[in-house]
Amino acid sequence: MNSNFPRVSVLMATFNGAPWLREQIDSILNQQGVSVRILVADDASTDKTLDVLSEIFSIDDRLQLVNFPSKAGSASANFFRLMMSVDVSDADYVAFSDQDDIWLPEKLARAVSCLNAKQFVGYSCATLAFWPDGSEKLMSQDPRQRKYDFLFEGAGQGCSFVLKKELFLKFVSFLRMNSSSLPSIHYHDWLLYAYVRSNEFGWYFDSIPMLRYRQHASNDTGARGSISGIYSRFEKIRNGWYAAQLRALLNVLIKNEEFKLNYLEVQDMFFRESGAFRNLRNALWILKNGRRRFLDRSVLAFSIVVGWI
């Protein structure tokens, strides 16, 4: 990579993304004010994803394919193994990327500037969700952190994350120590944010949208505020998925002695007690300590009262 600019390694996990992949990769390779390379792990795509990657690889050595002998089976599993396999020794920063978005030309340069402004270690930005019919929606994050917001949500769309290399390397060591627990974690970016906050590192929430967040039928979750996104999130709470993720996240954090005492009490509150009093107490606790947006805390409080969490 060109040493005259900040050097960024972009990690991308692909699966059947051929219709959108070229536009996304072009938007990354055309980033301004940074030196960039893209490290891609494909999860046994059955469309023309590998053809697209191979064609770009043949003409631009800033794209590198990281091969694995078996299928990961999910986006998070693919990201976890990619993170634990890559060499980022020649990078200053590491970024995450989806396969189907479009980055604004100054996305990475702005992230680097924000990270260095007040010595933050992690960055996420607002995104502009867009649909095939031409409609758009700004998706921003409330930056007002609460004591335990990170146990109940991530720091926004993982595709917007940019990290200082030192943080990335520490997180990779954390992943390796907890590799047996990773299959239970659905969102790699949520775990990363929980790791950052558990260590009391600084995280920067950028209110300026720096990427176009493509919405289509294959999105894992969908945009906040869209009908599909609202339904998906509601169902995950009602069917117990959300409680299972909270349990899995706490189990990983508690395994580490430096975090253990902070989270044993939370684990006991949610998973070792039952009854109406427990539900009311936990609902009030969530309203004080939970997610950053009041509406999101209210939804969780209601879900606790009716016994979904």
pLDDT digits (tens, 9 = 90+) for 154-171: 999 999 999 999 999 999
Same domain, 93 and 176: yes
Confirm whether 227 is domain-assigned: no
pLDDT given for residue 85 in this prediction: 97
Tell me if 230 is assigned to some domain.
Answer: no
When pLDDT is averaged across residues 2-31 and rounded to a whole number, the result is 94
* Of 31-35, 145-149, 176-180, 220-224, minimum mean pLDDT range: 220-224
Same domain, 159 and 35: yes
Q: What is the pLDDT of residue 221?
A: 54
- Whether residues 249 and 131 share a domain: the answer is no
Asked if residue 223 has pLDDT above 60, the reply is no
**Which of residues 190, 218, 246 is at a domain's end?**
218
Residues 176 and 117 placed together within one structural domain of the fold: yes
Share of the chain above pLDDT 70, in %: 94
Burial degree of 15 (CB within 10 A; 0-12, 13-18, 19+): buried
Domain count, the chain: 2
Residue 31 pLDDT level (bands cut at 50, 70, 90) = very high
Specify if 229 maps to a domain.
no
Give the per-residue pLDDT at 228.
Answer: 59
Please choose, from the candidates 308, 307, 297, 298, the residue with its C-alpha nearest in 3D space to the C-alpha of residue 153. Answer: 297
Please write the tens of the pLDDT for every residue from 94-137. Answer: 999 999 999 999 999 999 999 998 889 999 999 999 999 989 99
Residue 2 lies in a domain: no
Q: Domain check: are 29 and 90 in the same one?
A: yes
- What's the gap between Cα 93 and its chain centre? 16
**pTM of the full structure:** 0.93
Whether residue 170 sits in one domain with residue 51: yes
Among 186, 218, 250, residue at a domain's last position: 218
Does the residue 24 lie in any domain?
yes
111 and 242 share one domain: no
Based on the domain organization, do 136 and 261 belong to the same domain? no
Range of the domain at 106: 7-218
Q: CATH number of the domain at 147, please.
A: 3.90.550.10
Q: Which pLDDT band holds residue 256 (cuts at 50, 70, 90)?
A: confident
**Same domain as 87, residue 58:** yes
265 shares a domain with 152 = no
- Domain limit, last residue, from 155, 187, 218: 218
Give the Cα separation of 46 and 189 in Å (integer): 26
- Pick the range with the lowest mean pLDDT from 97-106, 145-154, 210-219: 210-219
Same structural domain, 214 and 244: no
Residue 268, Cα to own-chain centre: how many angstroms? Answer: 27
Helices (H), 140-211: 165-177, 188-198
152 and 249 both lie in a single domain:
no
